[in-house]
Amino acid sequence: MLVSSENYLTVQSHYAGTLAAHYSWMFGGYNARLQQNRALLAMHLPRHPTSPQEPPHPSLQQQQQQQPPSSTSASPSPSLSLLPLAIDLGCGPGFQTIPLLEAGFRVLAVDASKGMLDELDAERIALNIDPTLITAVQDDMLNFRASVADATAATVVCMGDSPTHLASLHEVKQIIDDAFAVLAPGGGTLMLQFRDLTRPLEGTDRFVPVRSDNMTVFTCFLEWEIERDAAKTPPVEPDGSGRRVKVHDLVHVKKGNSTWELCKSWYHKLAMSTDWVARALTDAGFAQVRVAEPQHGMQLVIGIKA
Ligand SMILES: C[S@@+](CC[C@H](N)C(=O)[O-])C[C@H]1O[C@@H](n2cnc3c(N)ncnc32)[C@H](O)[C@@H]1O
């Protein structure tokens, strides 16, 4: 596998070492977050998704993971090639993948984290969803275009803050340009959802309580990096887009003998404004670009291909 994003390996080890084990819990459990995303996607997905008339791209078929059979019998799937294709970049445990499958798409789901993909597979099995409808790939999302023929996808989503995990605005532009290329004309839709980190927090406000219960206390510390060497770091836009934020996750977990263990690790996120993202979508060629109402502190920018 070719690693393209400069952040890929740090993100992968951060999720493996700290975040994947607590990710769904952070949102009040899997079902609560899934329900939010079902509602969000129902509002914004293309109503009559484009159905590509050709069979799936050969490389997409090759990449299909051997999925274990469902524990109970899944309902028979309609002919795969007639279903519209959705691509979920940075799919995590499937908070968008599952609603996309339920809405009648076949899904290419890409993520760096094996733990997250394992959780997605467990949820798919629990929900009795036909395994042939999903191609789950552990890969760098920047490589997805190699798996999909141009002008064949009904929708590309990169949501739940996945865009900010990329290392630079240049990498975000690559995702936007590649999404434009693979989307079918006449309504192909790109959805990017992210936290706007362009306004730095100061002092103790940088310590953000994420969630706690009697067994776990999750705190996040955010550090906006100063540009030290302009020649080495990509330029930052006047509105703060492009600035790197070092995100430290601090998780206290209660042990059996009533002591607490601290698990800590960090990764980088990228600041970007809705204005910058909307402009990048317009520059890529999207005919309609819309900024939706923010939900749960996240911005959503949607582009529709003419
Ligand atoms: C904040 S989570 C979002 C997951 C999911 N979309 C959601 O709504 O919860 C970000 C996900 O992106 C993945 N990720 C980050 N950088 C990536 C990259 N370059 N390629 C593939 N996956 C990546 C992480 O492993 C993680 O699962």
Q: How confident is the model over 239-248, as pLDDT tens digits? A: 999 999 999 9
- Same domain? 163 vs 252: no
- Same domain? 221 vs 175: no
Q: Is 113's C-beta closer than 6 angstroms to any atom of ligand 1?
A: yes
Q: Is 110's C-beta closer than 6 angstroms to any atom of ligand 1?
A: yes
Whether residue 265 is predicted with pLDDT greater than 70 in this model: the reply is yes
Q: Quick one: pLDDT at residue 199?
A: 96
- Same domain? 191 vs 209: no
- Tell me phi and psi for residue 262, to 5 degrees: -100, 125
Q: Quick one: pLDDT at residue 54?
A: 41
- Same domain? 131 vs 219: no
Nearest CA to ligand 1 atom 16: 165
251 belongs to a structural domain: yes
Whether residue 271 is predicted with pLDDT greater than 60 in this model: the reply is yes
Per DSSP, the residues of 183-204 read: BPTTT-EEEEEE----S---GG
Contacts of residue 170, defined as CB under 8 A and 6 or more positions apart, other chains included, come to: 234
Q: Are strands 244-254 and 106-111 parallel, antiparallel or unpaired?
A: unpaired
Per the model's pLDDT, the better-predicted residue between 276 and 64 turns out to be 276
Indicate the pLDDT class of residue 235, thresholds 50, 70 and 90: confident
Q: Is 160's C-beta closer than 6 angstroms to any atom of ligand 1?
A: yes
Coil, helix or strand for 17?
Answer: helix
- Same domain? 149 vs 35: yes
Q: Is 96's C-beta closer than 6 angstroms to any atom of ligand 1?
A: yes
Coil, helix or strand for 230?
Answer: coil
Q: Is 300's C-beta closer than 6 angstroms to any atom of ligand 1?
A: no
Mean pLDDT score, 235-241? 92
Least confident of 43-52, 99-108, 143-152, 202-211: 43-52
Per the model's pLDDT, the better-predicted residue between 246 and 73 turns out to be 246
- Same domain? 123 vs 209: no
Coil, helix or strand for 290?
Answer: strand
Ligand 1: distance of its center to the CA of 100 in Å?
17
Contacts of residue 224, defined as CB under 8 A and 6 or more positions apart, other chains included, come to: 197, 200, 201, 243, 244, 245, 271
Q: Is 94's C-beta closer than 6 angstroms to any atom of ligand 1?
A: no
Domain range for 148: 8-196+272-304
Task: Encode pLDDT of 191-230 as tens digits.
Answer: 999 999 999 999 999 999 999 999 999 999 999 998 656 6
What is the pLDDT of the chain when averaged over all its residues?
89
- Same domain? 188 vs 98: yes
Q: Quick one: pLDDT at residue 257?
A: 85
DSSP character at residue 69: P
- Same domain? 240 vs 284: no
How far apart are alpha carbons 96 and 289 in whole angstroms? Answer: 21
Let me know: does 49 contact 43? Beta carbons within 8 Å.
Answer: no
136 belongs to a structural domain: yes
- Same domain? 149 vs 191: yes
Task: Name the pTM for this structure.
Answer: 0.90
- Tell me phi and psi for residue 16, to 5 degrees: -65, -40
Q: Quick one: pLDDT at residue 4?
A: 87
- What atom in ligand 1 is closest to the CA of residue 116? 27
- Same domain? 245 vs 294: no
- Same domain? 210 vs 287: no
- Same domain? 145 vs 252: no
Whether residue 38 is predicted with pLDDT greater than 90 in this model: the reply is yes
Q: Is 11's C-beta closer than 6 angstroms to any atom of ligand 1?
A: yes
Residue 28 maps to which CATH number? 3.40.50.150
Q: Give how many domains the chain has, as a whole number.
A: 2
Question: Taking the alpha carbons of 306, 91, 89, 221 in that order, is the dihedral positive or negative?
Answer: positive
Task: Encode pLDDT of 82-97 as tens digits.
Answer: 899 999 999 999 999 9
Indicate the pLDDT class of residue 134, thresholds 50, 70 and 90: very high
Nearest CA to ligand 1 atom 12: 90
Q: Is 15's C-beta closer than 6 angstroms to any atom of ligand 1?
A: yes
Ligand 1 pocket test target in 26, 162, 175, 191 with most atoms within 8 Å of CB: 162
Task: Encode pLDDT of 168-183 as tens digits.
Answer: 999 999 999 999 999 9
Nearest CA to ligand 1 atom 27: 92
Whether residue 48 is predicted with pLDDT greater than 70 in this model: the reply is no
